[in-house]
């Protein structure tokens, strides 16, 4: 039995009975503080609240090595590379601003790639790749900045590959990531990469002596399987990817227990891409020995869509408890309403066999085939997309909710998405500014936020961005409603005070959650903190 398994904990320095535990990893014990101090130089590299384990199902994965509280940092990590996402529109290769937002761009004199300004073209990030890309200068002609161009597909894999010579230690970390070449070989993407990346880099950029076809495909696969999307403030389209090798060790679960933020302005360090810093925190309590999960999909999507994304881009069949449950942990995010009895919900009998499963009503013999459910859902998705992409308006989403209330469960993912948009639009749409909204409309906004929270708290529980943002959206209409009823003499001052206490609690929680978010997106946090301060001062005078 080793030191960890024994019930009697021994000091890591002198083997005497220990009374203290290392607070960082909860794995090592000491008899006294001075021995802990003495041991730190040896221990610091191993002192982590997680461990990486190889598992038959998940491959390498991460487990908590101590109990973690919600909000506690599990690890922080800087990107080994960043780069444009596949299929992105033309963007600056340094700061990733979309070139459609740039009045006149600066073409790099050596390789012809367009940058938003000369300074970006001369950045260290572009040096090594420019040498390679300049060999293909004549092919790098980007005329239409509103349309994606295939030449952007090779940039991020090339950045990964070039680490081999520019930063061999980082290349080792990059290259050991999962690429699933054997499974990807059968896909359409493989043939696209073969032309746009492999042949382009080997033939046109003359890299055939440096990188085999297999190696270049592996770089493409590593990005598809592991890269995280980086949301840059003010950048409407998610165009940027970052590789964070340690964060890649987190497996997927459709109900994750972590949240991560990526700060795009972290201090520069030795890597040219190191300014992107990821921080991963526990979003709920995680017990020692529990697996640490992130999510590779959108938590508010339904099971069929989430499983399709995971199958196509991550090459596994998700069988987590949410995917296996027809009700999706009682959220009913994929459920339909029964048109036959009007009281039952129609759910898949075998949610993991989505292509063939029957969908049965919970109250009557009504049944639907998987094909019919798919057809109906696809049509509604298309309708929803049209609303979302063409100047989204309150009335259009409300109309969508009304028209499909007899067909879709109130929590169906399309209804929930409509509510998520409405939770923001009410109060922000010019025709629905908070002060001009009727009390009924304010109540509607609060009720939409509550319905959204009820679902989000199950599929993305704990201290999450969606909870912070939704609570922030709730506080102002609640405060206005309380004020209006008080001023109209419809509630006593003690009742009013109680309501305001409730508003303060909601805002405080929102501030607490949003403060854990990317410091670069401080706008919301500053507003929330200011509002909280105002309420607190105001209440102290009541
Ligand atoms: C980002 S990598 C995670 C690290 C990977 N396990 C490794 O050993 O490098 C994603 C891959 O891990 C595996 N994986 C992650 N979550 C999984 C899950 N819930 N079920 C099965 N496999 C999973 C899949 O092979 C997936 O393509």
* 310 alpha carbon – ligand 1 mean position (Å): 10
Q: What is the pLDDT of residues 508-530, one digit of tens each?
A: 999 889 888 765 555 556 677 77
* Closest ligand 1 atom, residue 61 Cα: 6
400 with 391: CB under 8 angstroms? no
Q: What is the mean pLDDT of the chain?
A: 92
Per the DSSP assignment, residues forming a β-bridge with 360 are 347, 367
Q: Is the dihedral of CA 532, 534, 535, 536 positive or negative?
A: positive
Residues with CB under 6 A from ligand 1: 57-61, 177-178, 180, 225-226, 248-249, 251-252, 314-316, 318
SS3 per-residue string spanning 476-488: HHHHHHHHHHHHC
- DSSP-derived letter for residue 248 is G
Token pair recorded at residue 154: 């090779």
Q: Going by C-beta distance under 8 Å and a sequence separation of 6 or more, which residues neighbour residue 433?
A: 427
The Cα 10–Cα 19 span in angstroms is: 8
> How confident is residue 3, by pLDDT bands cut at 50, 70 and 90?
very low
The Cα 16–Cα 13 span in angstroms is: 8
pLDDT at 4: 43
* 112 alpha carbon – ligand 1 mean position (Å): 38
75 with 25: CB under 8 angstroms? no
* 327 alpha carbon – ligand 1 mean position (Å): 25
* 250 alpha carbon – ligand 1 mean position (Å): 8
29 with 22: CB under 8 angstroms? yes
For Cα atoms 115, 116, 121, give the angle at the middle one, nearest 5 degrees: 40
The Cα 325–Cα 348 span in angstroms is: 9
In the chain, what are the domain boundaries? 1-47, 87-239
Nearest CA to ligand 1 atom 27: 314
* Closest ligand 1 atom, residue 253 Cα: 19
Nearest CA to ligand 1 atom 21: 58
Q: What is the pLDDT of residues 348-357, one digit of tens each?
A: 999 999 999 9
H/E stretch holding 367 reads: strand 367-368
Q: Give Cα separations from 302 to 12, 457, 470, 485 (angstroms).
A: 49, 15, 20, 39
pTM: 0.91
Q: Is residue 273 scored above 60 in pLDDT? A: no
Q: What is the pLDDT of residues 193-230, one digit of tens each?
A: 999 999 999 999 999 999 999 999 999 999 999 999 99
* 59 alpha carbon – ligand 1 mean position (Å): 6
Q: Is residue 143 scored above 80 in pLDDT? A: yes
Identify the three-state secondary structure at position 104. Answer: coil
> How confident is residue 5, by pLDDT bands cut at 50, 70 and 90?
very low
Q: Is residue 135 scored above 70 in pLDDT? A: yes
Q: What is the pLDDT of residues 68-103, one digit of tens each?
A: 999 999 999 999 999 999 888 899 999 898 898 888
Nearest CA to ligand 1 atom 3: 249
State mean pLDDT over 293-298.
98
Encode 48-80: b = buried (16+ Cβ within 10 Å), e = exposed: bbbbeeeeeebeebbebbbebebbeebbbbbbb
Higher pLDDT, residue 402 or 45 = 402
* 251 alpha carbon – ligand 1 mean position (Å): 5
């Amino acid at each position: 039995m080793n030191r960890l398994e024994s019930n009697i904990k021994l000091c890591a320095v002198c083997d005497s009975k220990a009374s203290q535990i290392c607070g960082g990893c909860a794995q090592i014990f000491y008899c006294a503080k001075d021995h802990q101090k003495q041991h730190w130089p040896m221990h610091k590299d191993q002192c982590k609240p997680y461990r990486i384990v190889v598992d038959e199902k998940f491959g390498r994965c991460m487990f908590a090595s101590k109990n973690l509280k919600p909000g506690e940092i599990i690890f922080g990590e800087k990107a080994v590379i960043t780069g444009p996402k596949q299929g992105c529109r033309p963007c600056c290769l340094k700061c990733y601003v979309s070139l459609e937002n740039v009045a006149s761009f600066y073409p790099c004199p050596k390789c012809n790639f367009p940058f938003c300004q000369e300074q970006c073209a001369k950045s260290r990030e572009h040096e090594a790749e420019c040498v390679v890309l300049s060999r293909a200068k004549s092919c790098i002609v980007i005329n239409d900045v509103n349309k994606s161009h295939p030449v952007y597909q090779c940039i991020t894999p090339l950045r990964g590959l070039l680490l081999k010579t520019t930063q061999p230690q980082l290349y080792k970390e990059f290259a050991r990531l999962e690429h699933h070449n054997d499974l990807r070989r059968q896909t359409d993407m493989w043939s696209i990469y073969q032309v746009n990346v492999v042949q382009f880099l080997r033939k046109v950029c003359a890299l055939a002596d440096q990188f085999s076809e297999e190696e270049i495909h592996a770089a493409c696969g590593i990005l598809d399987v592991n890269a995280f999307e980086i949301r840059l403030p003010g950048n409407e389209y998610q165009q940027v990817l970052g590789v964070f090798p340690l964060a890649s060790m987190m497996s997927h679960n459709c109900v994750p227990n972590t949240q991560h933020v990526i700060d795009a302005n972290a201090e520069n360090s030795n890597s040219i891409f190191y300014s992107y810093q990821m921080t991963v925190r526990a979003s709920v309590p995680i017990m020692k020995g529990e697996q640490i999960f992130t999510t590779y999909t959108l938590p508010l999507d339904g099971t069929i869509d989430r499983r399709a994304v995971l199958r196509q881009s991550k090459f596994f069949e998700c069988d987590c408890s949410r995917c296996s449950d027809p009700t999706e942990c009682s959220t009913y995010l994929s459920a339909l309403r029964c048109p036959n009895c009007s009281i039952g919900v129609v759910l898949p009998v075998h949610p993991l066999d989505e292509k063939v499963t029957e969908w049965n009503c919970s109250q009557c013999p009504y049944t639907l085939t998987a094909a019919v459910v798919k057809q109906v859902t696809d049509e509604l998705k298309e309708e929803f997309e049209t609303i979302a992409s063409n100047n989204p308006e309150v009335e259009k989403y409300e109309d969508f909710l009304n028209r499909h209330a007899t067909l879709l469960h109130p929590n169906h993912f399309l209804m929930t998405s409509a509510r998520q948009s409405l939770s923001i639009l009410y109060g922000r749409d010019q025709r629905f500014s908070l002060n001009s909204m009727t009390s009924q409309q304010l109540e509607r906004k609060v009720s939409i936020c509550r319905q959204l929270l009820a679902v989000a708290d199950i599929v993305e529980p704990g201290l999450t961005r969606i909870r912070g943002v939704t609570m922030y959206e709730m506080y102002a209409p609640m405060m206005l409603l309380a004020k209006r009823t008080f001023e109209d003499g419809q509630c006593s001052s003690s009742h009013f005070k109680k309501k305001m206490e409730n508003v303060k609690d909601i805002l405080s929680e929102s501030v607490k959650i949003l403060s854990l978010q990317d410091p670069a997106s401080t706008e919301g946090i500053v507003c929330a903190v200011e509002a909280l301060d105002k309420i607190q001062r105001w209440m102290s005078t009541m």
